[in-house]
Amino acid sequence: MFGFLFGGFGSVCSLVVFLLFIIGAWKMYVKAGHPGWAAIIPIYNIYIILKIVGRPGWWLILFFIPFVNIIILLIVSIDLAKSFGKSAVWGIILLFFLSVIGYLILGWGSDQYQGPSVAGA
């Protein structure tokens, strides 16, 4: 009944969350030595995150496999936190569950990129 009044509210909220993610990811990419514009290109932004944490590019394929993608996202979230000097718990909470907040903190916070967290990268 009130759809005509509140129908666009969800769209506006989604747009705000998306923009906050882009703002945080852009700054985080720049800190890690990658172009910020990569944050706005779908799929390529995941590839760049894999490069930031030191994982091979072929892991991108794993993001398209149901259920496997959840495990891979958890691993990459922990790796990303460690690449910026944060703990694994920080990565799980703020990059896996509350990713928009985590990306904003990594991008705009004082944490410096310390290199790929994966050994041998």
In this predicted structure, the answer to whether residue 31 has a pLDDT above a threshold of 60 is: yes
The tokens for 78 are 């922990």
Q: Are 24 and 104 in contact (CB under 8 A)?
A: yes
**Per-residue pLDDT tens for 59-97?**
999 999 999 999 999 999 999 999 999 999 999 999 999
Residue with tokens 């390529």: 44
In this predicted structure, the answer to whether residue 6 has a pLDDT above a threshold of 90 is: no
> What confidence category does residue 1 fall into, taking pLDDT thresholds of 50, 70 and 90?
low
Instruction: Tell me the pLDDT of the chain averaged across its residues.
Output: 92
Torsion of CA 36, 39, 40, 42, to 10 degrees: 140
Cα–Cα distance, 83 to 52 (Å, whole number): 8
In this predicted structure, the answer to whether residue 114 has a pLDDT above a threshold of 60 is: yes
Query: Where are any strands of DSSP class E within 15-106?
Result: none
